[in-house]
Amino acid sequence: MWKSIFAISLDDFIKQIKDLNVNPKFIALYHTIEHDSQKIIEEINKNFETEIFGCTSFQGIFTPKGFTRGIGGLLSDEAYIEIKTAYSTFETKTPYEAGKQMATKVKTELKTEPDLIIMHATPGFEEEIIKGIEEILPEVDIIGGSAGDDDLSGKWVVLHKNGAIKNGVVIAGIKSKREIRTAFISGYFPTGKKGKVTKAKKRIIYEINGKPAAEVYNEWTFGSIENELKSGGIVLPKTTLKPLAKIVGKIGAMNVYSLSHPEKVILPEKALSTFTEWETGEEVILMNGTEKGLLKRTSMVVAQSLLGIKGKIDIKAGILIYCAGCVNVVIKNADEIVKNYFEELGKEIPLIGPATFGEQGRFFIEGKKVNKHANLMCNTILFE
């Protein structure tokens, strides 16, 4: 049994699970921030013996009926899937150490390497977590999204059966006797404007081509952040459709891009902070997206995950992870995101998913699997 459940109250959410008359093996759990995370987890634990993993979501959650506020979960009691979860806070461990510890735990409890790691972290250290996981599980795909809230005020949490975590990470290691399909895409295209990062540290680009990074971005985008060059501050809404990117590899003759969302202008340097890490010497490329393209890219992510096998297998359920910044652009038409997903799949399935502040996924590049953290992305997990 696979089932997705959505409710606007905790009582109704618990009742719907009880009405199934099963004890789920796991619940992929997502909710908007008006709900009490700790209370949700306590009520689930009181009524069911189950693994829990998930996070808070920006403005709504994806359900089979569209995008709306509330509490949602994807449940399964299928015998062919085994799942183990782990969590860590960053109070006592570095993000890298947390990644290693969690990967070791799920590998030990599964008694084998998982087929897939699903990861949800609070924003800020995703690259280091991935490095830690890969130290233990170098060949395993990582798919995930970073916890969100409504306004970047830090109300986000990640969710585990042991509680709600304000500064940390949760992972789920899944082993399945049937195939798990994934895909990770952007839906953006290069503009032809590019340069060299000549000074950077972690998630701040100080200079491009030897000039202040925000000045260069402003020139590339015809004055879109002119005011912030003088006053500093948040530029997220102005940069969503014109993010930066780096090339992470090629598929045949095609470049593969990993996106980075410019967050704010930092004065007096006129630097740009972003939600991904940069290194001095990397090439930086200006990308372009459209509202229509963002709505249609869920068709693309399903098509990519089913490449060559569409119509030949039976998909039972899915998790959709979609960038919160992109949701903000298409919020009035966000229900179309799910509609396009199902149209490409050819049917409606149990589905759940968050709008996230950063996405993690696997690129398949030149015959190699590469796990990356990026921004403004869309990914999906489809269970046969």
Residue 368 predicted with pLDDT over 80: no
Could you tell me where the DSSP H helices lie in 92-158? 95-110, 126-136
Q: What is the pLDDT of residue 310?
A: 66
- How buried is 111 (Cβ within 10 angstroms: 0-12 exposed, 13-18 middle, 19+ buried)? exposed
Q: Bigger pLDDT: 365 or 325?
A: 325
At residue 36 the predicted structure's pLDDT band, cuts being 50, 70 and 90, is very high
pLDDT digits (tens, 9 = 90+) for 123-174: 999 999 999 999 999 999 999 999 999 998 999 999 999 999 999 999 999 9
What pLDDT does residue 253 have?
A: 76
Q: Measuring CA to CA, which residue among 100, 53, 30 is closest to residue 354?
A: 30
Predicted confidence at residue 311, as pLDDT, reads 64
Burial bucket for residue 265 (CB in 10 Å: 0-12, 13-18, 19+): buried
How many Å apart are CA 137 and CA 6, to the nearest integer? Answer: 33
Portion of the chain with pLDDT greater than 90, in percent: 90
200 backbone dihedrals φ, ψ, rounded to 5°: -155, 155
* CB-CB neighbours of 23 under 10 Å: 12
Give the pTM.
0.93
Question: What is the radius of gyration, based on Cα positions, of the chain?
Answer: 20
The pLDDT of 366-371, averaged and rounded, is 78
Mean of the pLDDT values across residues 334-343? Answer: 96
At residue 40, does pLDDT exceed 70? yes
Tens-digit pLDDT profile for residues 61-100: 999 999 999 999 999 999 999 999 999 999 989 999 999 9
Tell me what pLDDT residue 251 has. 73
